[in-house]
Amino acid sequence: MEGHHCIGMLEIAEIYFNTSSENLKQLPRDFFNSMDEDHDEKVSLSEFFNNMKEGGLVKAENPPEMFKLLDVNRDGSLDFKEVVALYYVIKSGRPFCGGCGKFIPGMFFSCLICFDNEDDKFCVCPKCFTNENKSYNHKHMPDHFLDNFALLEAKRKMAIDTRKPPAPLEEPKKKSTLLLRLLESEIAAVAGAEVVAVSGAAAAADLAAAAADSCSIM
């Protein structure tokens, strides 16, 4: 694993820690204290291994290699910041490669089908994913994989689409409503004209009757 990846992981964990509330900051502190069995303010390889083995904290197949990855300053132990990075790895669900079994500190590829439907996601590091010898076996095809950035963007677009009303169904509804309004106005206009015509005919009949009565009196 390259050093700049390790530093980036520690930096991310530190940012989360510094921006958390005091209650949330206490959680990684408690985590560190539980690993620091002899209370010397650092976690040795043996303490790390005991906690990994007993607690099942992460799925690393090679705990010493994971320890080395976290030990950025190379002093043979983990200080508080380095343990906070481990806490971040556990809580964020950062993956271990389904091919080589190593922790993936950077970009990775996830099986989209497993991500949506399976109990456990299946991820591989770029090296294993592009290996022509296929150092991993999986039930789904490579074209079902997306890198973590593309997967996040795809999920975001899917969430947006589910919130949008279906456009093809809305447009005919608007046209139907407009057509109905036009028909209603036409019907009202015709009905109004008929009422006027009937009223006019009735008035004319009344006038004719009145004129006849007048003539007969005279």
Is 0.75 topped by the overall pTM? Answer: no
Name 38's Cβ contacts closer than 8 Å, sequence gap at least 6: 47
Angstrom distance (rounded) from CA 29 to CA 37: 13
Give residue-wise pLDDT tens across range 7-18: 578 889 999 999
- Residue 49 or residue 212, greater confidence: 49
pLDDT tens per residue, range 83-125: 999 999 888 888 888 888 888 888 899 999 998 887 778 999 9
pLDDT (tens digit, 9 = 90+) per residue, 116-171? Answer: 887 778 999 998 998 865 678 888 988 899 999 999 998 898 888 888 776 665 55
Q: What is the pLDDT of residue 191?
A: 55
For residues 64-84, average pLDDT: 92
Q: Tell me what pLDDT residue 119 has.
A: 72
- Residue 2 has a pLDDT of 44
Please provide the average confidence, as pLDDT, over all residues in the chain.
Answer: 77
CATH topology of domain 1-94: Recoverin; domain 1 (1.10.238)
pLDDT(78) > 90: yes
